Amino acid sequence: MTYTEKTLQCADCGQSFAFTAGEQEFYASKLLANDPKRCPSCRQAKKAQQYGNNGNSYRNDSYGNRSPRQMFPVKCSECGKDTEVPFEPRNDRPVYCSDCYRKVKLAA
């Protein structure tokens, strides 16, 4: 199928924007039936409003960037060193710093 550039009007700001042939081909490849209703800047603003300032929420954005993980401060169950882990610790399980974790993992 051949696509030609369309000029659309943004539902949020009313500005005209181009819906290029390449974008139309991309939409078709993803089986998206509707044309976008927001211009690129309004889409970005809506995304930032939904997911925070950087526009994503523990998901990759369209460029493969990832938002930082939430880290939880803990004391290592083995050596007592203060460290951080990317999960919320439970009281019934030991939590290790990276050095002690490697030792425990190798011993298993």
Indicate the pairing of strand 6-9 with strand 16-19: antiparallel
Q: pLDDT tens digit string along 21-55?
A: 999 999 999 999 999 999 999 999 888 887 765 54
- Contacts with 99 (C-beta within 8 Å, 6 or more apart), sequence order: 79
Q: pLDDT tens digit string along 57-108?
A: 455 566 666 777 889 999 999 999 999 998 899 888 999 999 999 998 888 7
Helices and strands, number each (H, E), in the chain: 3, 4
The owner of tokens 């993980």 is 69
The owner of tokens 């011993």 is 107
Could you give the CA distance from residue 79 to residue 24 in angstroms, rounded to a whole number? 57
State pTM to two decimals.
0.46
